[in-house]
């Protein structure tokens, strides 16, 4: 992440020395005029470190300093005072200032003190990242696979991890594109830097530029504070641009420029900001088709796809279903404190034979649901959604065209249970058909089905249908 330094110091000599020293560093410097300083404007600049001359601090000093100390960035404050007074020094420290310096000391000593503060700020961000996320990032070795195709894919991925080249990750919804991009980051030389994920489909078009590149205070109505964008936050690390196919054309043009120059100007800002970021973009859309339709820029496609990797859908790596299933069982066992040990053979067989339109995400949800429903130490077919209840059929009748195939399990079920199971299966088949047609649009599907959208949601939940899986097929 770039460190923001806000400076309201009156001595020109000090300002020039700061600008020269910091030009080559991961620090963004913003100057404020001490003579006309608005303390509120200074506080809203989103800085990590403030350096101010003591006469510029409005009285009472304690409340002005505590305003800065209570900011969400938990900034550090350096105050330069122009009298060598021990009492003033002590008062400023008592007011909550982190470092107090006499402005008459040699500029070099002042810069050294500032360097120490900046370094402790870098450590602060590093520690924060490590505790909150670093330990939980997946690694490429966690992807070990029994599928030959997947092994080839992982070998290809390993070869590109250490380069800084932009990567385009392709694949259906839920195959693990974001999961893989975290592993690429964690295995790369950027692993001590931040991993910032941003989903293009989740951001309204008018806010996208600000989300990506940040804004200065006053840039638009409601921009009362400056705000860092995702590229600035990702400095020194990796930015993951999810659902890049949803990015509006106008933003694609801006992104292309940033990818070429690694430099951008925040909304309402004047000075360009340079960042050192690796970009990984992902989509489940066919971008070549989008280019044909005129909704995706060809030059951006080539720029993003310097390395293009396509993750296999789960149905094409069925060998991995048992190990993934066990992995999610262990995860949920710990999460819910359940003593579940295994799956019954028919349950595992059903999981392996299913076509998994929602891929690993759907598998994860199915296992979580089963763990919650299971009352013994073994998950059986009964805890899986009804789409899995298609066990081997028995033939009834004497052969020929009148033969009827029925699930073997029915022999030990009551009539109401069979009726429910059949209803569920028919409903699942019907809803799958309509959801495919509407590409997962709930309102439209509910209208065709003649039921309330809330009722449709409840049914989809019960039947294990995920609307995202239908969106991907479009």
For ligand ATP, the binding residues (CB under 6 A) are 143, 171, 173-179, 242, 282, 284, 327, 360-361, 364, 468
> For residue 5, what are the β-bridge partners?
29, 49
Query: Is 57 or 198 the residue whose CB approaches ligand ATP more closely?
Result: 198
Q: How far apart are CA 350 and CA 381, in angstroms?
A: 8
Nearer to ligand ATP, 284 or 438 (CB): 284
Closer to ligand ATP by Cβ: residue 61 or 329: 329
Main-chain dihedrals φ then ψ at residue 380, nearest 5 degrees: -115, 180
Looking at beta carbons only, is 226 or 284 nearer to ligand ATP? 284
Minimum CB distance to ligand ATP, residue 202 (Å): 10
Instruction: Please report which helix (H) or strand (E) contains residue 372, including its range.
Output: helix 359-373
CA distance 394 to 387: 18
Closest residue to ligand ATP in the complex (CB): 176
Cβ-based nearer residue to ligand ATP, 264 or 470: 470
Query: Which residue, 226 or 438, is less far from ligand ATP as judged by CB?
Result: 438
| CB 228, min distance to ligand ATP, A | 24
Judged by beta carbon, residue 98 or residue 246, the one nearer ligand ATP is 246
- Tell the smallest beta-carbon distance from residue 471 to ligand ATP (Å): 8
**Taking the complex as a whole, how short is the minimal distance between the CB of residue 197 and ligand ATP, in angstroms?**
9
User: How far, in Å, CA of 375 to CA of 272, rounded?
Assistant: 60
Q: Which is nearer to ligand ATP, 318 or 390 (CB)?
A: 318
The tokens for 157 are 């991925």
From the CB of 63, what's the least distance to ligand ATP, in Å? 45
Cβ closer to ligand ATP: 271 or 323? Answer: 323
Which one-letter DSSP state was computed for residue 439? T
Q: How far is the CB of 134 from ligand ATP (least distance, A)?
A: 16
Which one, 50 or 240, has the nearer CB to ligand ATP? 240
Ramachandran angles phi, psi of 3, nearest 5°: -95, 135
Which tokens in the block code for residue 227? 């705000």
Q: Shortest Cβ distance from residue 217 to ligand ATP (Å)?
A: 33
3-state secondary structure of 215: strand
Sign of CA dihedral 78, 84, 88, 93: positive
Cβ atoms of 45 and 4 closer than 8 Å: yes
Q: How far is the CB of 236 from ligand ATP (least distance, A)?
A: 23
Q: 15 or 179: whose CB is closer to ligand ATP?
A: 179
Q: What is the DSSP letter of 369?
A: H
Shortest Å, Cβ 246 to ligand ATP: 11
Opening angle at CA 162, ends 194 and 231, nearest 5: 30
Q: How far is the CB of 106 from ligand ATP (least distance, A)?
A: 53
| Token pair belonging to 392 | 């081997």
Taking the complex as a whole, the smallest distance from the CB of residue 155 to ligand ATP amounts, in Å, to 16
Least Cβ distance, residue 252 to ligand ATP (angstroms): 19
Give CA–CA dist 299/311, Å, rounded.
23
Give 356 or 388: the residue with its C-beta nearer to ligand ATP. Answer: 356
Count of all residues that appear for the chain in the document: 474
């Amino acid at each position: 992440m770039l460190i923001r330094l806000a400076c309201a110091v009156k001595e020109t000599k000090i300002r020039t020395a700061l600008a020269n020293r910091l030009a080559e560093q991961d620090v963004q410097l913003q100057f404020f005029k001490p003579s006309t300083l608005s303390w509120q404007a200074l506080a809203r600049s989103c800085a990590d470190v403030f350096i101010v001359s003591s006469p510029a601090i409005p009285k009472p000093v304690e409340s002005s300093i505590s305003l800065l100390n209570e900011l969400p960035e938990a900034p550090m404050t350096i105050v330069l005072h122009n009298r060598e007074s021990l009492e003033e020094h002590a008062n400023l420290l008592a007011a909550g200032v982190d470092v107090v310096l006499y402005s008459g000391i040699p500029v070099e000593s002042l810069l050294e003190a500032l360097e120490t503060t900046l370094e402790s700020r870098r450590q602060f961000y590093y520690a924060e990242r490590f505790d909150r996320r670093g330990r939980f990032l997946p690694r490429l070795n966690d992807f070990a696979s029994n599928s030959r195709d997947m092994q080839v894919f992982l070998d290809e991925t390993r070869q590109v991890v250490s380069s800084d080249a932009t990567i385009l990750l392709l694949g259906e919804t839920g195959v693990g594109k974001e999961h893989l991009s975290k592993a690429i980051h964690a295995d790369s030389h950027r692993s001590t830097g931040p991993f910032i994920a941003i989903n293009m489909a989740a951001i309204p078009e008018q806010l996208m530029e600000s989300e990506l590149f940040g804004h200065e205070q006053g840039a638009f109505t409601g921009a009362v504070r400056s705000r860092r964008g995702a590229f600035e936050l990702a400095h020194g690390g990796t930015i993951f641009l999810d659902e890049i196919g949803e990015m509006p054309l106008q933003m694609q043009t801006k992104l292309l420029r940033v990818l070429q120059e690694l430099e951008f100007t925040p909304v309402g800002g004047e000075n360009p900001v340079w960042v050192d970021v690796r970009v990984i973009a992902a989509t489940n859309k066919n971008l070549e088709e989008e280019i044909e339709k005129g909704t995706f820029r060809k030059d951006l496609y080539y720029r993003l796809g310097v390395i293009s990797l396509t993750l296999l859908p789960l149905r094409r790596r069925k060998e991995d279903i048992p190990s993934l299933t066990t992995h999610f069982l262990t995860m949920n066992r710990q999460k819910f404190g359940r003593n579940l040990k295994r799956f019954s053979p028919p349950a595992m067989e059903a999981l392996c034979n299913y076509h998994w339109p929602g891929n690993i995400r759907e598998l994860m949800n199915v296992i979580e649901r089963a763990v919650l429903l299971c009352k013994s130490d073994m998950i059986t077919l009964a805890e899986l959604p009804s789409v899995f209840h298609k066990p081997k059929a028995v033939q009834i009748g004497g052969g020929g065209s009148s033969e009827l195939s029925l699930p073997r399990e029915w022999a030990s079920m009551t009539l109401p249970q069979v009726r429910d199971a059949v209803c569920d299966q028919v409903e699942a088949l019907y809803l799958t058909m309509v959801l495919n047609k509407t590409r997962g649009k709930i309102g439209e599907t509910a209208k065709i089905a003649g039921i309330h959208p809330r009722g449709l949601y409840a049914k989809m939940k019960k039947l294990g249908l995920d609307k995202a899986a239908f969106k991907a097929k479009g």
